[in-house]
Amino acid sequence: MKVIIFREWFNHKLYPILYTLCIVVSMSAFLTLDALQSSVNDYIDENQKQMVGGDIIITDNQAWPQKLLTRIEQLNENDVVYDYQFNAIAYTPEKSLLTRIKAINHNYPLYGELILKNNSFDWKQGEILVEQQVLVGLEVKIGDRIKIGEAYFTIKDELISEPDRPLTAFGFGARILMHDSDLDKTQLLGKKSRISYRIEIKHNQLESTKLLTELKDIAADSRISVKTADKSNTSISNLSQNFLIFLKLLVIAVIILSAIGTMSIINAFVIRQENTNAIRMAIGEKTASIISSYRILFAFMAVFSVFVAWLVSLLVLTYGRDVFNAILPNDIELGIAYLSVVKALIIALFLTALTSHLSLYKITLLKPLSLLNQQPVGHPIKTIPWLWMLFAGIAVMALLLSELGSVSQALQIFLGLLLVWFVFALITKLLMSLIKWLLDKNLIGPWMFKLALQNIFRKGNHSNLFITALSMTTMILGSITILDYSIQQQLIATYPEDAPNLFLLDVQKDQQAQLNELFAGQLTYYPVIRARIESVKGVKTDALKEKLGNYDNISRMFNLSYADELLKTEFLYASSQGGLFGQTKTGLEPVSILSSFAEFIQVELGDEIVFNVQGIRIKTQVSSIRKRLKRGPSPFFYFIFPPEVMADAPQIRFATAKIEQQQRVIMQTRIAQEFPGITTLDGGSIANKLKSFTDQLTQLVKLFTALSLLAGALIFATSLLATSQDRLR
């Protein structure tokens, strides 16, 4: 008898087609993202040491203390890499280019493989490895010489990939690798240079705990960071995982909508089979056997649909990889794990069991004699199916928990979904009540329009569910559209047309006159004083660091500045005496703080902050709070002092200007030749880099927009199908 139900199902092709589409749309998206997520997690687990460079990583922004170097020198010299990174202009007589210099010793890399175009691993002092971007930007080839700082270098080979730089979506400046022994002759290292110092250590895992403790003790009184490989964050672990989780949440919403579609299809088919079911009951077949035949059919369709979804997902991963390049490392291998397929099968089967339960329960209410005598039959489920709703809620919560791994986050999103559904259902109910009232009062004139509205309330119609589900679809579509708009607007806000597009870093006071002459007065200068926060409201920064969030690192080195007026991109949000600075308590200097950072460290007007400015303690009192009018490349400082307080402090300056693109290239070359210690940043090229990245994110957004549209179309089609039998009657 079970064959009958299969024959009936496949004889009406619309049912299996729509059912399969509902499952395939959601499960193929789920499988694709789960495969990406699993591949990223596996990549991180297998290559964590490779991505961070060693077993123990030591980082700082200033030269190493001798005590630390003495301890490092006691280790096997072949297990230590010294890494120095900074931005510098590389140039030829005709061209210049912003580059990211990475100076390393001969042991690099400790883990992984450095990939070069011609495998020239015998490169010597005076030779460098460069990315293709350098070759193209400077119009040079392997074997040519370029100048960096005060030294000339020969290009030995083209750099294809670095093991500790898997994600290339970020990072401004073409990469150049040189020997650390060549650094001195560039004359780019100095007290005011912006250099990232890094030591990577390869060490026996059993003994690394002892060494780690020793190194942390040595660095205890400094700002040096000492971490193991598994505690070090990477760009791939932060960006890829977070963005994939966000996309997975969208897919979960699509799964919920697909469940509504499958429920409509199953309900339509079961209603269509009422006479067949009545005949089966009349000839003695038990209700349990009939329901079992339906369950077998729908389980078969769920398994088949997951198989189709698996094929679709494979095609997407094979031919659509470029869409995901922005959030994936270069050499990652993509594939669908068996566990992902099992998860998809469990979700599909549970979804099928859940969505078919109420429809199959109606079979137990059938009265064969009434049906065969063609008497009208209702399907009364007069009480709210609380148990079914409980299981549905548990299923959604379990799905969220399995993807997020956090009970609190899963609960927040689950409650958010419930709230959104409740709001849409309430709005739908109010709308239906309003239409009903208008019909009852004969306030709607055109009879065709009136008839159409009356059909909304026809018995067996699913208007409430249909409108609510479509509202959810519209919400998801709107969320994705807003995300796309936000990405584009953030790029525009970050680089507005009137913003400066050339930035000069590490300018010395005695260079200002020459630069003014070179730029014909177009430069705007900003003094920068390097300092650390010692305490806030009497609490040391080390204690605060554990309590504050992740907005910023309060123990890092900060850039302070001084001015007697607000920047053009800021306005005064709050002030103790109506101006930027005012009278303070004896022994305290006034300071103005940016509102975002004031919220982070939880200070208000009148609170005290103590700074350590290169060994000198300065006690301050917050006299005003500033807010920014817009974000972007325009400079801003968390803290601004009166000129009389900081003007004599050791400082460097950075300058900004707005210059035409062709002129920017010429200026960069001249500055590199005449002022090798100054780093120039081309805001236009950075904007193009960001635009390329956001364009890739936009492609992903458009993909999920199409997915939401398809889910909405399926809900529309399945809702029409679900009520077809009632309309025929």
pLDDT at residue 608 above 90? yes
Residue (of 210, 183, 176) closest to 197 by Cα position = 183
**pLDDT-based confidence at residue 661 (cuts at 50, 70, 90):** confident
pLDDT at residue 170 above 50? no
Can you tell me the mean pLDDT for 509-535?
Answer: 88
What is the pLDDT, as a whole number, of residue 472?
A: 66
What is the pLDDT, as a whole number, of residue 169?
A: 44
pLDDT at residue 578 above 70? yes
**pLDDT-based confidence at residue 625 (cuts at 50, 70, 90):** very high
Contact by Cβ (8 Å): 188, 17: no
What is the pLDDT, as a whole number, of residue 69?
A: 92
Structure tokens, 56: 């123990």
Contact by Cβ (8 Å): 40, 241: yes
What is the pLDDT, as a whole number, of residue 708?
A: 66
DSSP alpha helix (H) spans, 53-186 = 66-73, 132-138, 183-186
Can you tell me the mean pLDDT for 57-68?
Answer: 89
What is the pLDDT, as a whole number, of residue 254?
A: 80
Higher pLDDT: 121 or 152? It is 152
Q: Look up tokens 């920068």; give the residue.
A: 528
Strands 589-594 and 616-628: parallel
Can you tell me the mean pLDDT for 34-42?
Answer: 79
pLDDT at residue 58 above 60? yes
Residue (of 485, 603, 467, 477) closest to 533 by Cα position = 603
pLDDT at residue 375 above 60? no
Angle between helix axes 287-319 and 274-282 (nearest 10 degrees) is: 140
**pLDDT-based confidence at residue 104 (cuts at 50, 70, 90):** very high
Contact by Cβ (8 Å): 202, 108: no
pLDDT at residue 707 above 80? no
pLDDT at residue 83 above 80? yes
pLDDT at residue 270 above 80? yes
Percentage of residues in the chain with pLDDT exceeding 70?
80
Can you tell me the mean pLDDT for 105-110?
Answer: 90
Residue (of 637, 514, 689) closest to 98 by Cα position = 689
pLDDT at residue 456 above 90? no
pLDDT at residue 191 above 70? no
pLDDT at residue 234 above 80? no
Please tell me the distance from the alpha carbon of residue 691 to that of residue 714, in angstroms, as a whole number: 34
Please tell me the distance from the alpha carbon of residue 588 to that of residue 625, in angstroms, as a whole number: 17
Q: What is the average pLDDT score of the chain?
A: 81
**Three-state DSSP class for residue 138:** helix
